[in-house]
Amino acid sequence: MRANKLPTEEIERDPAAFADRVTADGRFGFAAEPGRYRLVVSRACPWAHRVVMTRRLMGLEEAVSLALTDPVQEIIGGDPHWVFTERTGSPGGRDPVLGIHALREAYLARNPGYDGGVSVPGLVDIPSGHLVSNDFDQLSVDLATEWGHLAREGAPELYPAALREEIDAVSDEVYQDLNNGVYRSGFAPDQRRYDRAVAAVFNRLDALEERLTDRRYLVGEHITLADLRLWATLVRFDAVYHGHFKCNRRKLIEYPALWAYARDLYQTPGFGDTTEFEHIRAHYYRVHTAFNPTGVIAIGPDPRGWLSEHGRETLGGRPFGEGTPPGPVPTGERVPPLEEQDRPAGDDWSVPKS
């Protein structure tokens, strides 16, 4: 989907163009080695966010370096591209490690004939400059299960074997109706398909509200990948999906259990400390010019509500199970405090120039 074109068909998310796996034993050709890979993400993107959260919770910051693209994509050849800019810490508009301006260059290094879309996250093999994978779901699973020898002491079990079937079943429902459903609502080409998509969004939110009323986490007694997958959408819901994508039957803050659940996780290391609302708002409102042609960025909602008390501790459970919280965020990866994210965007988020 070109963000600056009006939709003519219902949005369909293509399978990952590159899905090589990085494993502990290298059985698929890529071994989990410290310093070999660079994870390219945008803080605006929910699909990338779940991988960033997994990396943070597992304590893999030193093993896998992080590269931040600009939240506002640059139009190159008529298509939006994830690019590096000085605004997000890349001197001269090139990633200091990979030496590229646009993530597409890593795609082309892997396959010079590639002519498809470019998405984040992208895991890049630093020595070759080749993209290894843009499969956000498998990247999360592998970071949670195949990098244990490089993970921090006390890293949680985000994908425990005994719960995988339930995690996958819950995640599939959330993906179909909510994670991807907000996009199907926002990019609906006609009333009938919008009505169908937005109904699924709120039916799923209603079901999740009921599920989370008397349990602290989606599956089991601690955080799992199911929570990361859901939360990446919830944290963006009132800021962009409610208004920008017309998912406006109710706000997240109108769901007592879901809103408390979302705040509980926001205040848990690995969640709020990887979230940058300025990037989220700038991306959606600046890039989707088909239905926001002025590029005006909405100012709200006030993000400080994420720090209010939630009371979810009374439901029991331990966020990290038998593990421990991750340590401080590395200096170069810290997001601004909430009070600095609650300000008018002004001209700070113009389309980047190459």
The span from the CA of 159 to the CA of 257, in Å, is 24
Cα(334)–Cα(329) distance, rounded to whole angstroms? 6
Secondary structure class of 195 (helix, strand, coil) = helix
pLDDT recorded at residue 46:
98
Total Cβ atoms within 10 A of residue 300: 11
Amino acid at 221: E
Domain with CATH 3.40.30.10 in the chain: 22-150
Residue stretches of the annotated binding site: 82
Please give the pLDDT value at position 18. 92
pLDDT for res 59: 98
Residues of the chain with CATH 1.20.1050.10: 161-341
What are the residues whose beta carbons fall under 8 Å from the beta carbon of 293, sequence distance 6 or more?
none
One digit per residue, the tens of pLDDT, for the chain of length 354 reads: 445 565 656 666 677 889 999 999 999 999 999 999 999 999 999 999 999 999 999 999 999 999 999 999 999 988 999 999 999 999 999 999 999 999 999 999 999 999 999 999 999 999 999 999 999 999 999 999 999 999 999 999 999 999 999 999 999 999 999 999 999 999 999 999 999 999 999 999 999 999 999 999 999 999 999 999 999 999 999 999 999 999 999 999 999 999 999 999 999 999 999 999 999 999 999 999 988 999 999 999 999 999 999 999 999 999 999 999 999 999 999 999 988 887 766 668 888 875
Cis peptide leading into residue 71 (ω within 30°)? no
At a CB cut-off of 8 Å and minimum separation 6, what does 263 contact?
305, 306, 307, 308, 310, 312
User: Considering 45, 255, 266, 284, which one is annotated as catalytic?
Assistant: 45
Neighbouring CB atoms inside 10 A of 7's CB total 17
CATH classification of 161-341, choosing from 3.40.50.1820, 3.30.465.10, 1.20.1050.10, 3.20.190.10? Answer: 1.20.1050.10
Taking a C-beta distance cutoff of 8 angstroms, is the pair 133, 18 a contact? yes
Cβ neighbours around 310 below 10 Å, total: 17
Instruction: Give the model's pLDDT for residue 89.
Output: 93
Active site residue 45: yes
How many angstroms separate the CA atoms of 237 and 225, rounded?
19
Q: How far is CA 328 from CA 76, 79, 222, 269, in A?
A: 37, 38, 21, 9
Give CA–CA dist 46/52, Å, rounded.
10
CATH class name, domain 22-150: alpha beta
Question: Cα–Cα distance between 16 and 134 in angstroms, integer?
Answer: 6
Q: Residue 102 gets which letter from DSSP?
A: B
What per-residue confidence (pLDDT) applies to 15? 79
Catalytic residue among 37, 107, 159, 183: 183
- Match 């590096």 to its residue by tokens: 84
Residue list for the binding site for glutathione:
82
